Chain A
Amino acid sequence: MLELLKRLMNVPSVSGREDKIREAIVREVEPYADEISCDPVGNLIVRKKGTGKKIMFCAHMDEIGFFATYIDDEGLIKVNAIGGISALAAAYTEVVSENGVRGVIIPECGKEMPKVENMYIDIGAKTKKQAQRRVKVGDFFVCAPSIRRLSGTRYVGRPFDDRVGCAIMIEALKKVKETENDLYFVFSTQEEVGARGSKPASYSVAPDIGIAIDVTGTGDKPGSAKMAVKLGGGCTVKIKDSGVICSPELVKQMREIAEENKVKYQNEVLIYGGTDASSIQVAGKGARVSAISVPTAFIHTGVEMVDMFDVNEAVKLTALLAEKL
């Protein structure tokens, strides 16, 4: 699991530019899939054929980042935020471009609370020309990927959101044995800019049941929102977030399957934030949806923190649902 996570987290792919991570995922799933296709908005749809219920699992491939919008006379690069960038978290961190150009992101000097629109990427260029040779307007940057163990099963780095979901789906796909269910594992695009990719994907798949696999917040860190979810308490079964009220019937089935198979789970009501489940629910004639989440502290920073215990429980639950729902 850890090696797979490292491979996936090391491929920068901002929303709308998911081609490289998609290629990486294709390499991982090829031996286990019956059908692999890519739709017009870049979603990777991996099918394990069956004759029964159509179940769509969905994790997003994209991550938050920046687009270069302008290179000034000093060779500094102005940027535009893609997705929910926290300027506080991004300031003074290392960034890397889609072509591997390294740089640092810096706010205007002397500003106490930076805003993304007042931030620059410094790639160490001495002149505008030098910068233009290495970065073009429209190139994307992400905060530098990393993953390291802190203690026990706790890891920090980025982007766990949502490569951890992609890794969980890949591991579950490997684990799934006999089932009649018609399984679709959708690796979606553009979640961070409004859960966009999953909309056409769920329209074309038209599942009976949709289950998003993503990160969720935790309530056990200083200043975190009121939430009963804890790191290390198991994966979650989602009941509500700001975009969706999950199907009570599906939530009940998920809890029962988790309990029967001794998977440790927590009940998740996320007050701020959403995931692809909201799009799957309202595509076409609609679907029964919920989500499995990995409790993650400090989401959208360079030090997203997960507990591998929760990740492994999520793999177990995903595989069980694929077989037993």
Chain B
Amino acid sequence: MMEKIKSTLVALCEEMTVSGYEYRAENKIRELCGSAFDEIRVSPLGSFVLVKKSKNKNAKRLLIDAHLDNVGMMVTDIKKGGFLSVVNIGGLDTRVLPATEVTVYGKQEIYGLVTSTPPHLRKAGADSVPKMDELYIDTGYSLEELEKIVTIGDPVGYRLKLTEMENGYVTTSGLDDKACVCAIIEAIKDVDRDELKYDIYVTVSAQEETGKNGSARSAFEIEPDIAIITDVNFASGDGTPEHECIKCRGGAAVDISSLTDRALTRNIIKLLKDKGIKHQIICEPGKTYTNNEGLLISGKGVRTAVLSVPLKNMHTPCETVNLEDIKSLKEIIKAIVTDGEL
């Protein structure tokens, strides 16, 4: 089971999906879903909507969301000496950008490095957190060569290579939120139509990192009765406040928030307890910082619950998750779609 999760995750993480450019993963999504869904369609904003209907004609519509996009950059100008100026797409962690390896998606893919100032040359007292407009991408090309390859507006992403660590940990960029995309696809693939209690609408959604836009638009069209949003959340570790975090290898978390539906959340927790499925609880009193915020108020309004996978190093090139927690989310989703009294 872990092998299937891992291979799906590796396949998803090979795709460049900076917000707005999710369309590049269409073939991969179709390939990974195989014949498990009745229909796969693409929304105007670029979200993928995967539909699998229950045999029960009066089944409620259950939307399960995870976003496909991740933070990145966009070229704003081509400079002398082979440098590109860039703007961030989504909330990049600029502390870790200098000297980071990136790929520029021009007419061809080219390698680039974010510029950095060596410590010897940094002015005393200079702010150690660089601003976006002080950083450039160094490509090694001349201006003339670069102008032939790169167009203003081309996306730039972190390098895409998943590395396996010990004890089930994996690291690469974009695990926020491909870890959850992987869990949902693997869960629904595992469930026979006969077992489905709900009509399932999976939104592998676009543009979460730039305003949580994709999933709410799809929800408007789908008009679900219930929606479950899955996203990553901060994992505890050195330097992170424990009360605002969840634990790696503790299973996926059920969020308790003023933005989530109380009865729905209780029902999910009860289901997981009854079935003995590993999970943890996180309390996010105000915002959830997930697609739940837009989805909740789309159309005539939707009852929502949020599930989270613990992740370290959010919005950096080395986001880290444990496969066990993805497996936990997969088990939770399977339980919900087959036995959930929502």
Shortest Cβ distance from A251 into B: residue: B153
CB distance from B205 to the nearest CB of A (A): 11
- Is A285 part of the binding interface, using a Cβ–Cβ cutoff of 8 Å? yes
| B85/A226 in contact, CB under 8 A | yes
- Known contacts A219-B77, A267-B152, A286-B43, then 14 further A-B pairs from the complex at CB < 8 Å, ordered by chain A residue: A227-B76, A228-B78, A239-B152, A245-B19, A245-B207, A249-B23, A267-B151, A269-B152, A281-B45, A282-B45, A282-B217, A285-B217, A286-B217, A288-B44
Interface residues, chain A, with chain B CB atoms under 8 Å away:
208, 219, 226-228, 239-240, 243, 245-249, 251, 266-269, 271, 281-282, 284-288
CB distance from A272 to the nearest CB of B (A): 10
| A285/B153 in contact, CB under 8 A | no
Q: Could you say which residues of chain B place their CB within 8 Å of the CB of A267?
A: 151-153
| A282/B76 in contact, CB under 8 A | no
Q: Could you say which residues of chain A place their CB within 8 Å of the CB of B21?
A: 248
CB distance from B86 to the nearest CB of A (A): 9
CB distance from A320 to the nearest CB of B (A): 20
Q: Could you say which residues of chain A place their CB within 8 Å of the CB of B216?
A: 282
B256-309 residues at the A interface, CB under 8 angstroms = none
CB distance from A246 to the nearest CB of B (A): 8
Q: Could you say which residues of chain A place their CB within 8 Å of the CB of B214?
A: 286
Q: Could you say which residues of chain B place their CB within 8 Å of the CB of A208?
A: 44
CB distance from A214 to the nearest CB of B (A): 17
Q: Could you say which residues of chain B place their CB within 8 Å of the CB of A251?
A: 153
Partner of A226, one of B76, B151, B207, B218: B76
Give the complex CA separation of A226 and B46 in angstroms: 29
| B153/A286 in contact, CB under 8 A | no
| A269/B153 in contact, CB under 8 A | yes
B110-166 residues at the A interface, CB under 8 angstroms = 133, 151-153
- Is B74 part of the binding interface, using a Cβ–Cβ cutoff of 8 Å? yes
- Is B220 part of the binding interface, using a Cβ–Cβ cutoff of 8 Å? yes
Give the complex CA separation of A248 and B151 in angstroms: 13
Given contacts A245-B89, A245-B207, A247-B46, contact A226 B213 (CB under 8 A): no
- Is B100 part of the binding interface, using a Cβ–Cβ cutoff of 8 Å? no
Shortest Cβ distance from A243 into B: residue: B211
| A271/B19 in contact, CB under 8 A | no
Give the complex CA separation of A239 and B153 in angstroms: 6
Give the complex CA separation of A251 and B220 in angstroms: 25
Q: Could you say which residues of chain B place their CB within 8 Å of the CB of A271?
A: 76, 87
B1-36 residues at the A interface, CB under 8 angstroms = 19-21, 23
Give the complex CA separation of A281 and B216 in angstroms: 12
| A285/B218 in contact, CB under 8 A | yes
- Is B210 part of the binding interface, using a Cβ–Cβ cutoff of 8 Å? yes
Q: What is the interface size of chain B, counting residues whose CB is below 8 A from a CB of the partner?
A: 30
Give the complex CA separation of A276 and B74 in angstroms: 21
- Is B194 part of the binding interface, using a Cβ–Cβ cutoff of 8 Å? no
| A285/B133 in contact, CB under 8 A | no
Q: Could you say which residues of chain B place their CB within 8 Å of the CB of A245?
A: 19-20, 89, 207, 210
Shortest Cβ distance from B151 into A: residue: A267
- Is B221 part of the binding interface, using a Cβ–Cβ cutoff of 8 Å? yes
Q: Can you name 17 A-B pairs with beta carbons within 8 Å? A: A219-B77, A228-B77, A239-B74, A240-B20, A240-B89, A243-B211, A245-B19, A245-B20, A245-B89, A248-B23, A249-B23, A267-B153, A268-B153, A271-B87, A281-B45, A284-B217, A286-B213
CB distance from A233 to the nearest CB of B (A): 12
Give the complex CA separation of A266 and B151 in angstroms: 10
Give the complex CA separation of A281 and B46 in angstroms: 11
B64-79 residues at the A interface, CB under 8 angstroms = 74-78
| B76/A228 in contact, CB under 8 A | yes
Given contacts A249-B23, A281-B45, A282-B217, contact A269 B76 (CB under 8 A): yes
Give the complex CA separation of A246 and B89 in angstroms: 12
Shortest Cβ distance from B155 into A: residue: A248
| B220/A285 in contact, CB under 8 A | yes
Q: Could you say which residues of chain B place their CB within 8 Å of the CB of A226?
A: 76-77, 85, 133
Give the complex CA separation of A159 and B78 in angstroms: 32
| B44/A285 in contact, CB under 8 A | yes
Give the complex CA separation of A82 and B255 in angstroms: 40
CB distance from B222 to the nearest CB of A (A): 9
CB distance from B156 to the nearest CB of A (A): 12
Q: Could you say which residues of chain A place their CB within 8 Å of the CB of B87?
A: 240, 269, 271
B149-192 residues at the A interface, CB under 8 angstroms = 151-153
Shortest Cβ distance from B45 into A: residue: A286
Give the complex CA separation of A248 and B18 in angstroms: 12
Residue from A208, A268, A281, A287 with most neighbouring chain B CB atoms (10 Å): A281
Q: Could you say which residues of chain A place their CB within 8 Å of the CB of B207?
A: 245
